[in-house]
């Protein structure tokens, strides 16, 4: 049977997702797996922007932070339900991407990188400085999510919720790749001029995928905050933006499965490295350098290239 | 009025440091097209090595020299072990490598040094000098004078020496430079080494005023980058102008608007400039070949 790559990806993620709870020995491991799903969701969204459309964002954690703080601040300051707050976070994040995206996405290469970087840092600065509103650097508590009277709690419950969110995200991303928009983005990735000549509204296509990537990140942020029930400005900081970009790149730009693999590596490894406590940063930096030098084309595309051709087709 | 003057002085002092960081960015960018986000770590190393050598009893000038040597060695190692092996990688990959390097350098510095803030005494006393109702720290003059000398020396090196001309030739066209017999690998290593030295000197000059710790590098790198962008990346004059302008704007915003959002100024300015002038203030209009 010929299996389309996108179905293969979806099936693989589904299988791992269903099998893991039986393989993981403790709720600590389930918590780590949950973190992986959340980061992977943001990375899958960012991959649409970076891998598919070839646009860099060095400030994506800003959108993640907006989603995370929405579920903390909505209930506290506006008396909103956490679920409604999460929705508001998604809308806010998407709107911000829409408003700043048009001028920003005109820029190319390094200039686009620095503009998105600035945007991300501005979000972080606001979250960090507005102590009265956000609790500042110490962070803020997030109320428990209650769905129609059901108090959502427990590592396993969150494992399933975040996993389902990721599955949904992957499914949408894979469909988007095969849609007219996806083809337009691939075309403008190769050559904006050629894409424009072929009748593609380049500015609009870039803007749409930027907004989509922002909404993915915001959803991931909301989920993380609800799951942790606590959030600090670190979720929006520069290092997190870099981690997200690194996930996409080491997994393999343009590969949805790669984004998940990258998220898994960058989430699980630091957990394993906490043993080396003092050396954590040094090792993380070293790992990033080594990954970038030796796995430049990314893990998943690298592995796929090794498979016999028939198996992939 | 004297308040304004005060802000201008402090703005120019900080701006001189941004200018030096931006100059380091420009040097490496011109030689290799790499945006080196580890640039801020050179500044950190300059300050921290001097602090710890001085505390261990080394005389201040010698401690400073040692710090420059450490930063130069770090720059060379960065080029040899992280940039060189990844030759041919795309821009994003190279950016991430230098960010990884900055995390690595900071991580090692955390182990070797500590996480506290430090300083060493100013070079010529702590008594402020009164100028037209404002007061200047003598160290500010050191920073401004030092930065001016570094910029002048770099200019002389670039314009008057054969090696400097080789650097400029490599920046203009690497392949053509190699064809006329320039050792471009040497030029690249040189750019990283000199960038390290410039960063370290900036760190040494400014530490008595702003204090230093292992974490100062990140924000400095980002602001230096913003300054380089503001001036149009790849343009040394633009880098210096961008740095000074950024420092001034920051000091004025901190004084007249809000000191909480002092750090935001750099990024608001950079986004605003990019909206209006997508190539920076002094950048050439790039013509894209199809």
Q: Domain extents for chain A? A: 5-237
pTM of the full structure: 0.86
Burial B116-141 (b: 16+ CB within 10 A, else e): eebebebbeeeeeeeeeebebbebbe
Residue B232 to chain A, least CA–CA distance (Å)? 10
pLDDT digit string, tens, across residues B138-151: 888 899 999 999 99
Model pLDDT, residue A196: 86
Report the DSSP pairing between strands A230-231 and A140-141. Answer: antiparallel
Instruction: Give A269 or B66, the one with higher predicted confidence.
Output: B66
Highest mean pLDDT among A14-28, A71-85, B57-71, B86-100: B57-71
What's the maximum distance between 2 C-alpha atoms anywhere in chain A?
A: 60
Q: What is the pLDDT of residue B290?
A: 43
Residue A24 CB coordination number (10 Å): 17
| Percent of chain B residues past pLDDT 90, beyond the cut | 37
Window 140-199 of A, Cβ < 8 Å to B: 191, 193
With an 8 Å Cβ cutoff, are B274 and A114 in contact?
Answer: yes
Q: Which residue in B99, B215, B223, B288 has the most chain A C-beta atoms within 10 A of its own C-beta, making it the best mutation to test that interface?
A: B99
Q: Is the model more confident about A270 or about B65?
A: B65
Provide the pLDDT for residue B284.
56
Contacts of B108 in chain A (CB under 8 A): 282
Residues of B in contact with A121 (CB under 8 A): 222, 263-264, 267
pLDDT tens for each residue of A159-171:
888 999 999 999 9
Which candidate from A115, A239, A288 shows the least CB-CB separation from B96? A288
Q: Pick the residue with more confidence: A78 or B62?
A: B62
Chain A residues with beta carbon closer than 8 angstroms to that of B105: 285
With an 8 Å Cβ cutoff, are A282 and B108 in contact? Answer: yes
Look at residue B48 and tell me whether its pLDDT is greater than 50. yes
Mean pLDDT of A211-227: 94
pLDDT at A286 over 80: yes
CA distance B46 to B34: 22
Whether domain B2-276 has CATH 1.10.3470: the reply is yes
Residue contacts between A and B (CB atoms, under 8 Å): 125
At B1, the pLDDT band (50, 70, 90 cuts) reads low
Which residues of chain A make contact with B113, given a CB cutoff of 8 A? Answer: none
Burial of residue B217, with CB atoms counted within 10 A of its CB: 0-12 exposed, 13-18 middle, 19 or more buried:
buried
Q: What mean pLDDT value characterizes chain A?
A: 85
C-beta atoms of A296 and B89 within 8 A? yes
Q: For residue range B189-238, list pLDDT tens digits in order.
A: 999 999 999 999 999 999 988 888 888 888 888 889 888 888 877 788 88
**Whole-number mean pLDDT of chain B?**
87
Q: Which of A171-180, A273-282, B51-60 has the lowest mean pLDDT?
A: A273-282
Instruction: Answer whether A121 touches B (CB < 8 Å).
Output: yes
**For the segment A237-267, what is each residue's pLDDT rounded down to a tens digit?**
888 998 899 889 888 888 888 899 999 988 8
């Amino acid at each position: 049977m010929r299996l389309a790559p996108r179905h293969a990806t979806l099936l693989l993620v589904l299988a791992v997702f269903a099998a893991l709870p039986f393989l993981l020995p403790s709720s600590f491991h389930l918590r780590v797996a949950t973190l992986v799903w959340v980061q992977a969701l943001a990375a899958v969204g960012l991959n649409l922007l970076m891998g598919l459309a070839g646009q860099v964002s060095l400030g994506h954690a800003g959108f993640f932070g907006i989603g995370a703080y929405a579920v903390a601040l909505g209930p506290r300051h506006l008396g909103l339900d956490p679920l409604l707050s999460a929705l508001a976070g998604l809308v806010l994040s998407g709107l911000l991407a829409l408003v700043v995206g048009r001028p920003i996405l005109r820029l190319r290469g390094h200039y686009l990188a620095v503009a998105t970087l600035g945007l991300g840092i501005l979000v972080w600065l606001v979250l960090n400085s507005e102590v009265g509103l956000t609790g500042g650097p110490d962070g803020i508590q997030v109320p428990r999510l209650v769905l129609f009277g059901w108090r959502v709690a427990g590592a396993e419950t969150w494992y399933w919720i975040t996993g389902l969110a990721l599955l949904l995200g992957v499914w949408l991303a894979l469909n988007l790749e095969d849609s007219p928009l996806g083809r337009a983005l691939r075309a403008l990735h190769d050559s904006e001029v050629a894409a424009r000549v072929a009748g593609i509204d380049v500015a609009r296509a870039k803007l749409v995928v930027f907004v989509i990537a922002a909404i993915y990140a915001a959803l991931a942020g909301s989920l993380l905050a609800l799951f942790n029930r606590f959030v600090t400005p670190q979720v929006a900081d520069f290092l997190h933006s870099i981690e997200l970009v690194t996930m996409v790149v080491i997994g393999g730009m343009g590969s949805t499965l790669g984004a998940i693999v990258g998220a898994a590596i960058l989430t699980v490894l630091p957990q394993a490295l906490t043993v080396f406590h003092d050396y954590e940063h040094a090792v993380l930096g070293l790992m990033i350098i080594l990954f970038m030098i030796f796995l430049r084309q990314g893990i998943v595309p690298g592995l796929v290239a090794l498979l016999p051709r028939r198996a992939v087709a | 009025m004297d308040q304004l003057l005060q802000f201008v002085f402090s703005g120019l002092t900080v701006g001189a440091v941004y200018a030096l960081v931006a100059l380091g960015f420009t040097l490496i960018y011109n030689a290799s097209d790499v945006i080196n986000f580890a640039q801020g770590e050179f500044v950190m190393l300059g300050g921290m090595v001097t602090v710890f050598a001085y505390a261990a009893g080394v005389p201040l000038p010698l401690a400073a020299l040692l710090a420059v040597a450490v930063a130069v060695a770090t720059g060379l190692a960065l080029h040899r072990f992280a940039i060189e092996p990844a030759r041919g990688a795309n821009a994003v990959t190279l950016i991430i490598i230098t960010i990884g390097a900055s995390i690595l350098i900071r991580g090692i510095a955390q182990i070797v040094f500590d996480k506290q803030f430090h300083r060493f005494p100013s070079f010529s006393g702590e008594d402020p000098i009164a100028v037209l109702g404002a007061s200047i720290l003598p160290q500010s003059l050191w920073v401004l004078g030092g930065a001016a000398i570094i910029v002048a020396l770099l200019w002389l090196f670039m314009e008057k020496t054969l090696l400097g001309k080789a650097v400029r030739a490599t920046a203009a066209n690497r392949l053509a430079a190699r064809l006329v017999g320039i050792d471009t690998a040497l030029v690249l290593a040189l750019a990283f080494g000199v960038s390290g030295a410039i960063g370290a000197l900036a760190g040494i000059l400014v530490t008595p005023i702003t204090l230093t710790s292992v974490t100062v590098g990140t924000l400095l790198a980002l602001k230096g980058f913003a300054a380089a962008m503001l001036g149009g990346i790849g343009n040394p004059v633009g880098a210096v102008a961008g740095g000074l302008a950024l420092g001034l704007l920051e000091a004025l915003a901190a004084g007249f608007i809000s000191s909480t959002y002092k750090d935001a100024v750099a990024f608001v300015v950079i986004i605003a400039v990019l909206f209006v002038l997508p190539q920076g203030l002094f950048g050439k209009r790039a013509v894209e070949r199809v």
